[in-house]
Amino acid sequence: MWFKTTAAAVLLNALCASATWSAYEEYVSRLPKHVSKHQSKRPAITFEPKKPYSAFAKSPSRSRNCYVSSHNDMKTDDSAYILDAIKKCDNGGHVIFPQGTTYVIGTALNLTGLKHIDIDIQGYVQFTNDTDYWQANAFFQTFQNATTFFQLGGEDVNVYGGGMLDGNGQVWYDLYASNIYILRPILFGTIGLNGGSISDLYFRYSPQYYNFVANSTDVVFQDINISGFSQSTALAKNTDGWDTYRSSNIVIQNSIINNGDDCVSFKPNSTEILVQNMHCNGSHGISVGSLGQYVGEVDIVENVYVYNVSMFNASDGARIKVWPGSPAELSGDLQGGGGTGRVNNITYEDMSVTNVDYAIEITQCYGQKNLTLCNAFPSNLTITNVVMNNVHGQTSSKFAPESGYVVCSSETACSNIVLEGIAVVSTDGTEDLFTCGDVDETLLQGINCTTTNKGSN
């Protein structure tokens, strides 16, 4: 299994994810003894062992440097300094947030339309906890009422530097526990970026998703370290590591994620996506979907390859989730059903699971707890040409003795779903027992199917 990070570093990351350190304290602990004002070298981007669906253009070197000033007091908004440096160095420059410097962002930053620029974040960046301001001013992204603190887009943009972005999430976790209809900003919004990389960064305590990648092409995320759990009884919900939307040729690789929702989720119209070499803990799996949520919308997720993932303490490992053909409600702020589209040519290969409720889950009744009603109104969205190969490990006791769930909502909604090399065992020792329904069981190699339907997550 690939890991750039040592076992000791994984342990350190787990400690930071507990309630013992603040993001700032963690950042300071990582600083070298002697902090210097220097320019980071842009990380090399390599694709191993799998290659992206299309080649990435080479990003040329930059010709000038712009250092970002800071009040460095952890109170005063530094957004004007940031905008000034980016304006000066756009189209050929290198923007530097110096190591050991703190930045506060209290203004929604529109960073779209950039060209040929490197943003070198070595410092510590925290977004303010002014929930009223952000609900009124964060950038609305249309999908599931998503909003972002900032939106980064343009052409040939690279972001890196080893620094930390802190979403100040605790106030949002507590607020959401009392009002599920608030708009919680996403920490990193990649919106309309065509060619670029985001690498070698630490993301902490996002109010909602950590990354939203929308209307973008030819973007790679590499060596990203994500973590942030609630320090109160209010859970940190919907903290997906990445959600891709209306984007193609995206690579997400070589990263560590400690979160409370999907590790990576392929939302509507995500195509040619490669995810590889990932360590996910506490998540809802690597997920296709949810899809088919909105009537009149055509959702397509096609040509996706997921390779070499270690999944710990999660609800799912490999997951495909589709809404039924009739309205359903998962929660007050998440309901839908009746949309159309397709899931096609999806591969999961080499996934290790530890204490995961379902090693594999495929459902077309997402959000609908009444399975009789779901079967009466089967999904309008088809699932075809899915391969899940070499998924192995131990599931949790939640659905024991079953360790997987592959159920379509009609005989015609799914075809060519292949499971091979599956070796998962429940806590009671039962091997490869799955709930199966309306699927060709001859393609589920080595799986022991039961029709006893306990329902999906």
Sheet of 185-186: strands edge to edge? Answer: 139-140, 147-148, 185-186
**Cβ-contact 256, 288 below 8 angstroms:** no
Beta strands in 323-409 (DSSP E): 328-331, 334-336, 340-363, 380-395, 404-407
The residues facing 421 across adjacent strands are: none
- CA distance readout (Å), 224 to 24, 91, 192, 280: 17, 25, 20, 12
Q: Which of 120, 243, 261, 262 is catalytic?
A: 261
Measured between alpha carbons, how far is 183 from 141 in angstroms, rounded to an integer?
11
**Cβ-contact 219, 190 below 8 angstroms:** yes
Structure tokens at 292: 């088919």
Measured between alpha carbons, how far is 158 from 149 in angstroms, rounded to an integer?
18
Q: Concatenated DSSP letters for 128-166?
A: ---HHHHHHHSEE-SGGG-EESEEEEEEEEEEESS-EEE
Q: Which of 94, 116, 279, 284 is catalytic?
A: 284
Measured between alpha carbons, how far is 260 from 29 in angstroms, rounded to an integer?
25
Measured between alpha carbons, how far is 337 from 367 in angstroms, rounded to an integer?
8
**Cβ-contact 229, 239 below 8 angstroms:** no
* 261 labelled catalytic: yes
- CA distance readout (Å), 161 to 201, 204, 382: 7, 15, 42
Rg (CA), the chain: 22
For 6, residues 6+ apart whose C-beta sits below 8 A from its C-beta are none
* 223 labelled catalytic: no
How many CB atoms within 10 Å of residue 133?
Answer: 13
The C-alpha torsion from 276 through 117 and 141 to 172, rounded to 10°, is 80
**Cβ-contact 221, 199 below 8 angstroms:** yes
CA atoms within 13 A on the CB side of 315: 16
Catalytic residues: 261, 284
